[in-house]
Amino acid sequence: MIVQSKPKRNGFFHWTVARRKVLWAYIFLAIPIVFFAYIRIYPAFFAFQMSLYDYNPLAAEQPYVGLENYEDLWKELNKRRSVTKAAFQNTVNYVLLGVPIQLCLALAVALMLNEIRFLSTPYRILFFLPYVTSTIAIAWVFRMLYQPQFGFFNVMLQLLSLPQQPFLNSPQQALPSVLALVVWQGMGFSVIIFLAGLKQIPRTYYEAAEVDGASRWHTFRYITLPLLNPSIVFLLVLQTISFLRMFAPVVAMTVQGQGGPLDATTTVVLRVYREAFQSFNMGYASAMTVVLFVVILIVTIIQLRFTTRSIN
């Protein structure tokens, strides 16, 4: 870029226009990067540091305690009953139930939407709408729908002469009830990704399969599913992370945001929030965050390792 005929000189004022342009581009890009680093990345790493301290935001001094917060967490997890233990167990249940159900439903819906031509856009909007609606608003509407006495679901059950159900007020039914909302709300996003994936599959494969006389199931099993693999992996990782981080629907749907009844719906992130901002145990809360971070990291690595494969 540097003009050869002139002697090479250092310093900004002797740079070429092109180089200066690039530099300015970097300077402007640096602003959001610095902002992002300071607002998102630095606090995230600060959590690692906080987890080694008896960190109380109200206090003037934060004593260093080493791994004590982690020891406390380990003790809590090994108790016969503790909120923290329930939070971790519930979070695992949310992931193990939520991710497969959501992906299967989304795939089924996407396959159907991919078939129809008439009114296809309104249908897609219909499935995507919940995803762009406020979670809190939806959660409150569901809370009313689940209401044991006058809620829509129970009125329906009554009309069908079936026994009324406590839903959110029962320790057994509360978690599935919350999960149903999250699955339904998040499904729109998965549907769109699957639809995009389906559009990527060349029609020629299907035509070839048809010529060979393959059944619908075989076409799905040996063409659609393998070629959708990138979409599936992407959604698997993303949805697992989102279920691991579950918070808002639980707060909005349970009494006084406690994750009840009897801790049946509480999650790790809700626990972190309560410990940090209501009991002021930021160190302990940070230790839980770090554990959650490690879990997410490991799960993601495993998923990427075992589900990504090349297709012939």
Partner 1 sequence: MRKLLAILAVAVIALSLGAVALAQDDVVEIEYWQYNFGARVDAMNMLIEQFHEENPGIRVVHNSDIPYADFRTEIAASAPAGVGPDIVTLYFGWIIAFVDAGYLVPLPEEPFSEAFIRETFSPMVANSKYLGEYWTVPTAVRSLALFWNKDIFAEAGLDPESPPQTLEEFQEIALATTQYGDGGQDVLNVTQQGFSPTMQGQIHHWFRDVLIRQYGGQSYSDDGRTVMYNSEAGCEAFRWVTEFELEHVTGSFDIMDGSTNAFVNGDVALHVDGSFRVGTIRNNNPDLNYGVAELPVGPNGENHTFGSYWTHGLTRRAASDPARMEAAIKFLEFITTPEAGALWVSIVGELPAQLESASDEMLLADPILGPFSAGLEYASATFFVDESAQRQVMLDAYDFVRLGGMDVCDALDEAAALEQELLDDFWAERE
Residues near partner 1 (CB under 8 A) are 56-61, 148-149, 154, 164, 166, 169-171, 255-258, 260-263, 277-280
The type of residue at 13 is F
What is the closest distance, in whole angstroms, from the C-beta atom of residue 29 to partner 1 in the complex?
A: 22
Nearer to partner 1 by Cβ, of 226 and 257: the residue is 257
Nearer to partner 1 by Cβ, of 169 and 229: the residue is 169
Cross-strand partners of 64: 53
> Three-state DSSP class for 64?
strand
Q: What angle do CA 15, 20, 21 make, to 5 degrees?
A: 150
Nearer to partner 1 by Cβ, of 120 and 164: the residue is 164
Question: How far is CA 96 from each of CA 89, 123, 251, 275, rounded to the nearest angstrom?
Answer: 11, 29, 21, 25
Nearer to partner 1 by Cβ, of 124 and 143: the residue is 143
What is the closest distance, in whole angstroms, from the C-beta atom of residue 170 to partner 1 in the complex?
A: 7
Token pair of 146 as six digits: 């689940």
Sort residue 66 into left (φ over 0), alpha (ψ -120 to 50) or beta: left
Question: How far is CA 227 from each of CA 92, 190, 194, 196, rounded to the nearest angstrom?
Answer: 29, 16, 11, 12
Backbone angles phi, psi at 67, to 5 degrees: -95, 15
Query: The tokens 């406020």 sit on which residue?
Result: 134
Cα 195 to Cα 107: distance, rounded to the nearest angstrom: 9
What is the closest distance, in whole angstroms, from the C-beta atom of residue 277 to partner 1 in the complex?
A: 4
Q: Pseudo-torsion of CA 304, 96, 83, 71, nearest 10°?
A: -30
What is the closest distance, in whole angstroms, from the C-beta atom of residue 273 to partner 1 in the complex?
A: 9
Nearer to partner 1 by Cβ, of 134 and 158: the residue is 158
Nearer to partner 1 by Cβ, of 4 and 256: the residue is 256
**Contact yes or no for 53/65 (Cβ under 8 A):** yes
Nearer to partner 1 by Cβ, of 255 and 294: the residue is 255
